[in-house]
Each structure stands twice: as C-alpha cells, then as structure tokens.
Amino acid sequence: MPGLYGTEQLDGWKQVTKAVHDRGGRIFVQLWHVGRVSHVDLQPDGKPPVAPSAITAKTKTYLIKDGVGSFVPTSEPRALDPEELPGIVQDFRHAARNAVTSAGFDGAEVHGANGYLLDQFLKTGTNQRNDDYGGSIENRARLTLEVMRAVVEELGGHRVGIRLSPVTPANDASDADPQPLFEYVVRELAGMGLAYVHVIEGATGGPREVEGRPFDYAALRQAYRTRAGAAPGW
Ligand SMILES: Cc1cc2nc3c(=O)[nH]c(=O)nc-3n(C[C@H](O)[C@H](O)[C@H](O)COP(=O)(O)O)c2cc1C
C-alpha cells in the first residue's frame, strides 16, 4: 500500500492532488494502520505485526516474494504495550498533517473499519486487553477517539471523516454487542464537527444484512444527530 512519509512519497502525492484540483475536484486521503492483518515478511526485521491482543486473524494478506504475489495467511500478532499507543496516535496526527500541508490533500479519513487496527481495538473478538484500552465500551473506543481528536486538532473537524463497519465479517472482525458500542462511538464523534461519518452497512462489499449480526442503522444515525454540536444533515 502507498505511504505518506518521506519527501519522495509526498512529492508523488502532490502530483495526484494537483491533478484532482486542476479538474475542480476534492480529494481526501484515507489513513490506515492494518494491525494484525499483516505478515512477518511485511514488518521491519521480520517481527510480528501488532494488535490489541495476540489473536491471529483468520484471513489472508497480500505478499510479494521473489517477484511473485499471492495471498498468504496472516501472522500471529503481538499485543501492543500501553506505552506504544501514544506513538500510534502521533503517527496518525503526523500523517494527517503531512497529507494536508505537504501533499495537498483536502482532508483525511481515518480508517476505523474492516477489521484493521482501530476496528480490532473496538471489537470484543479481537480485543481481550485488561488495561484502559480493553473491556468496557469506553475503553475499547479509546484509541479510535484519541486518534480522531488528534487528527481533528491538526486539520479541523471539517477536513476529517471516519469509516466504520459495525457488523462486517471482513478480516475476521466480530463484536458481541455492536449496537451500544457504535452508538457510543458516534455520540462521541458528534461533538467533533466532522465532515462526515462513513458507515458500511452489513458486509463490506457484500450483503447489507449479515446473518446473526442484526444492526439498526437508523438508531445509529439518531445517536449521532441528537448529540449537541452534530453537523446538520446526517
Ligand atoms: C482490493 C480491495 C481493496 C480495498 N481497499 C480498501 C481501502 O483501502 N479502504 C477501505 O475503506 N476499503 C477498502 N476496500 C473495501 C471497499 O471499499 C468496499 O468493498 C466497497 O466500499 C464496497 O462497498 P460497500 O462499502 O457498500 O460494501 C477494498 C476492497 C477491495 C476488494
């Protein structure tokens, strides 16, 4: 996947954003930490990928080895130390700043969906931590909200969005009780004056209803709307 650090990458993105702006378009970048959906061969020094807990994803990731690409089972991750989490928040903050001030993007969407790192923290199937970042809904949502506050601080809420996927089975994601979890998350987001909240209904790229995973999206919308400060129209 593309990166957004280092002069060469930023210069490359500048050409992309300029081409979009020249034609009257607007472009947001999506900022992504994959967490456990990775492989040791994709990591510095062949170390394990990181995740909320050391639970291997029952999914595959794409790997190019000796010039040949294929999907391979993901590696067993190691659980992040609490001391490492502020660094991840800072990474999102710096990437957002670079995206707008150096690469010319109009804003940033935080990828909180599809079984990647932030979604792994949100959901019980992947988060078995017993510190401030696991257990209760408030604790599981903490990292996502810290990342969002940092990115909003950098760019202003009107330049920030987030993607969420309450019930998708993508990348082995699962939560025991997603309705109150995501209603809490959007209530917290509603005060941030975001450009948008992008919610995947059902399975990503699949059916809008997932068997055994009912979800009330109207109630989610209502939870966002009724919180003071929420942007009108959503
Ligand atoms: C090869 C591939 C790459 C994808 N990359 C991303 C991505 O970088 N970010 C993201 O949010 N979704 C990604 N997706 C998910 C698509 O955005 C999703 O399937 C699409 O939005 C389908 O529409 P839906 O959201 O209505 O289910 C990817 C899907 C595929 C098949």
For domain 7-226, the CATH superfamily is Aldolase class I (3.20.20.70)
Give the Å distance between the CA of 228 and the centre of ligand 1.
Answer: 31
Nearest ligand 1 atom to the CA of 165 is 25
Average of pLDDT values for 73-95? 97
Express each pLDDT in 161-183 by its tens digit.
999 999 999 999 999 999 999 99
DSSP bridge pairs for 119: none
Q: Is the pLDDT of residue 233 over 90?
A: no
Give the Å distance between the CA of 62 and the centre of ligand 1.
Answer: 15
116 is catalytic: yes
- Specify whether the CB–CB gap between 230 and 224 falls below 8 A: yes
Handedness of CA 127, 129, 133, 139 (dihedral sign): positive
- The region of weakest confidence among 195-204, 208-217, 219-228 is 219-228
pTM equals 0.95
Q: What residue ranges line ligand 1, CB within 6 angstroms?
A: 30, 111, 113-114, 163, 200, 204-205
Q: Which of 5, 62, 116, 184 is catalytic?
A: 116
